[in-house]
Chain A
Amino acid sequence: MMNNLILTIVTFTPALGALLLLFQNRVNIRVLRTIAVTTSLLSFVFSLHLIAQFDSGSPDFQYVINAPWIPSFGISYHMGVDGISLFLVLLTTLLTPLAMLASWSITERTKEYFIFMLLLETGMIGVFCSLDLFLFYVFWEVMLIPMYFLIGIWGGDRRIYSAMKFVLYTMIGGVLMLVGILSLYFLHGNATGTYTFSYTAILNALATGQLILTPTVERLIFLAFFIAFAIKVPLFPFHTWLPDAHVEAPTAGSVLLAGVMLKMGTYGLVRFSLPYFPQMSHLFAPAISMLAIVGIIYGAFVAMVQPDMKKLVAYSSVSHLGFIVLGIFSFTTQGMEGAVYQMLNHGVSTGALFLLVGIIYERRHTRSIAEFGGLAHRMPLFAGVFLIVSLSSIGLPGLNGFVGEFLILLGTFGVSPAHAALAATGVILSAVYMLWMYQRVIWGEITNAKNALLGDMNLREKLMIVPLLILIVWMGMYSGHFLRPMDAAVSRLLHQTDKQNLEFALNPK
């Protein structure tokens, strides 16, 4: 019973908190904060149940709930998680309370702020849990609205432009995906006689050959899905919304944007594009890998020259997400596991980086690298934490980033050594831009008098960064703890996209 309802509870606890906030007095900021943080922490605690009861050996969806929603159209409230989505749910429930802790400086319209944060959390968790295409689309789109408000109201100077750009970009991809979903729905219905938006039913029909798409149709639907995901990832050249949105968003917004929302794109590729359209995935894989590599190198170079810390981290995301896409389209066990692992890594490391940038931004109200220097003198603890996080982002062995990037490069090398070699330059470049920034901000003498009186991290800031530090080390040292639950799901995914297997299914001897 509990196992059926747990996903619903995890998903909608934040929404309930938002409802509770709606009826609070806006003057009492402490109460508002307490309610918001408590409900998102509750959701985190509930989500721990997911990992506690998870059956690592099974590739199937677990904690499944399936109830009719709009039965006449075959729409159901169908949720479940497997080894791939499990950790993404946990990442979301972990990062949201931390991001809220980073929101103490929000004193204007606090009530609305936390309502939007909580609604955003519900939307994000829902995306990772949905096993019904309609439900997935609903969560996918509905989540844009709170993020739009978070950027647009509490963002920086160019917040309105950035918020609008963010919504319109993502929306364009989303609506095309909707046409793709509808087409699949009818093609499946016409072929099998049952009209349903069920993820698994359509997948089975495609895998068993009950539903055979003509090449043109398959290509169009694949592209409809792919563009939606590529914009979200964002894959070069669809990335232009990202620096704007990241830079203008408030700290918590950037944390969730980079930490969780970008993963929706790569998650979509893994969950939908690959298993639904294996032939097309193989067909387009060289082109997509090329774009990924361009993204890795381009993102790294652009990050290098950024004068603004947040923008630097934003472009580093373009580079890191390129790695993930590269790993996915290598169609190897290592590449795929590395990609999923790197999704989590990037969420943890980049989330932490944005939190750290937020910490000094709150003190100085600037993010310009040139304004800083010699922070180690005044903020030794901060300097240490910043170092660990930067190294994790670079991929230092022993920390989390290394495992993901190594697996991706290993998987890619087996398929195409040239791709791996090109991508590996991204690792080197990441060391350049991260360490160079670190050097300019932390080392040296204090050149700017405004930095002479800065205080080190306070308790709240320590609280929000410590869980991430633990994860950075844990995921670097004991990757098996995290990789093992993924194994079954990833190997099934590879089986679904395996070339020989595909040819056999379509032309049985």
Chain B
Amino acid sequence: MTIPEIHIPAILPSVVLAIAGIAIMVADPFLSPARRWLTGWAALAGVVLAGLSVLVLREHFGLSYSNLWTVDEFTVFFHVVFLFIIGMTILSSMDFIVREKLPQGEYYALLLFAGAGMLTMCGSNDLMMIFIGLEILSIATYVLAGFRRTDLKSNESAMKYFLLGSFASAFFLYGTALIFGATGSTNLNTIHTALSGPEIQITLAYLSAALILIALCFKVAVAPFHIWTPDVYEGAPSPVTGFMSVGPKAAGFAVLFRIFLTAFPTLQNRWVDGIWVIAALTMILGNLIAVAQPNIKRMLAYSSIAHAGYVAVAFATSSVPGISAALFYLLAYSAMNLGAFTIITILSRSEDKLVKIADYAGLGTKRPGLAALLSLFLLSLAGVPGTVGFAGKFFIFRSAVESGLVWLTVIGVITTVVSFYYYLSVIVQMYMHAPNEDFSNLGSARSWNIALFIAAVVTLYLGILPSRILEWTASAALGVLR
């Protein structure tokens, strides 16, 4: 056995994030409480630095660390998406943390660790490495969900997420063990080669694929593995909910694509049908239940389930255009959903008190700017042409029709119409009802404005001119579908 060659440039962004996280944790106790807001900007600087180091990453394509790690266009794309998510979450958290008087240093450190976990997941070429990334992400997120220590709901959220997350991790590990038994390796390429060979215990392989699929379905919250989502999303602090609804979801899909398209393409005839059912069920359940939610965080939790369903439609095609559309959609969803959650954070006031949809009555007259932006994000989530949400859905449905999944597409478009109902009912509250309160005690901080500006620009720009990102996602999809 040889010691693997150290090849730092290939993992630079995650190293940068991890170091930034540790540095913040160490520095935090030495800062006077009045100056702890600096940690937020330091974390942001860490993300920007990691973003710059992605440029280095691009120069080092290929396998490294004894084939544990792979850098391709897919890895690079998800690095950018994850760093975008972390950066946006930091921006929308800064004033929230101050307002809620929560410990700052720990919060940002945890976020950066979660980010490092996600970056690890998308570049891993080995089930064990993926598991490590998954755990780094999950443990940080469990803590973040329960970050409001004195709040019962936040505790409930963390506990539920932890218990079900642990189950999912156990499933994942069990699946890994079985495939190791079947093929003698946990390396994705080796598994693929072994499964293509003649002497293979196919039952074990199926079982392993099923277990891994279920584990990751928990992580991305698709039906019927979505039950935990509403409670967890409702109880977690608002910016953390925003993060959870996009970060772990995107990371989960990234490894789902990586594992199933790299290691299990030979079993494709089996799992594609499963994904079909999961996608249909998720779109139907997510959209229908969202209609009945009076709490905006729960509503967006069900909406996030529904959106995972759309991505699953793209996954069910397992074609280059399909995966490309899925990648585009994950980016699109991150931008618009983080935008929406930033506004929810602003409006929730201290201790997340005001999170009922009815609390938004009359926002359109009192705070036209915020109401207009939230409308933009909600309309984009619904999929109105001209926004990134429409472009994403259109690319997904296009690829689904291309792969002959016409009926799945019909389910998709009809549930989309259902989704219009619940997104529009928020707009109804904001614009068509008289205000119950004056909304004058809202903070309006620079970091929130920056976050909203970025989200709005991405939502509109990619909605109107998606071509360049689309070319990128197509080449990323080619990388993983080789």
Contact = CB atoms under 8 A, between A and B. Distances in A.
Contacts of A186: 401-402
Contacts of B432: 152-153, 159-160, 163
Interface in B358-391: 364-365, 368, 379, 384-386, 390
Interface in A439-460: none
B413 A178 contact: yes
Given A152-B431, A168-B417, A182 B401 contact: yes
Interface in A454-496: none
B406 A167 contact: no
27 contacts: A69-B467, A70-B470, A71-B467, A72-B467, A72-B470, A72-B471, A72-B474, A109-B364, A138-B385, A138-B386, A138-B390, A139-B385, A141-B385, A142-B385, A142-B386, A148-B424, A152-B432, A164-B425, A168-B421, A175-B416, A176-B410, A179-B397, A179-B406, A182-B397, A182-B398, A183-B401, A186-B401
B228 interface: no
Contacts of B417: 168, 171-172, 175
A287 interface: no
B294 interface: no
Interface of A: 26, 69-73, 109, 112, 134, 137-139, 141-142, 144-145, 148-149, 152-153, 159-160, 163-164, 167-168, 171-172, 175-176, 178-179, 182-183, 185-186
Contacts, number: 83
B428 to A, nearest CB: 5
A164 B385 contact: no
A167 B397 contact: no
Interface in B392-416: 394-395, 397-398, 401-402, 406, 409-410, 413-414, 416
Nearest to A190: B402
Interface residues of B, number: 34
A70 B467 contact: yes
B466 interface: yes
B413 A137 contact: no
B420 A168 contact: yes
B428 A164 contact: yes
Contacts of B368: 26, 112
Most buried by A among B365, B409, B424: B424
Given A141-B390, A179-B413, 4 more contacts: A152-B427, A178-B413, A182-B401, A183-B406
A172 to B, nearest CB: 5
Contact of B397 (A159, A163, A178): A178
Contacts of B414: 172, 175
A163 B427 CA distance: 12
Contacts of B395: 73
B410 A137 contact: no
A142 B389 CA distance: 13
Contacts of A145: 379, 384
Interface string B430-442: 0110000000000
Contact of B421 (A142, A164, A183): A164
A134 B425 CA distance: 28
B357 to A, nearest CB: 13
A178 B466 CA distance: 19
Contacts of A69: 467
Given A72-B470, A186-B401, A179 B409 contact: yes
Nearest to A148: B424
Most buried by B among A137, A159, A168, A182: A182
Contacts of A172: 414, 417
A164 B417 CA distance: 11
A4 B364 CA distance: 40
Closest 3 CB pairs of A and B: A175-B413, A138-B385, A182-B401
Contacts of B384: 141-142, 144-145
B431 A171 contact: no
Contacts of B416: 175
Contacts of A72: 467, 470-471, 474
Contacts of B397: 178-179, 182
Contacts of A153: 364, 431-432
Nearest to A184: B401
B428 A152 contact: yes
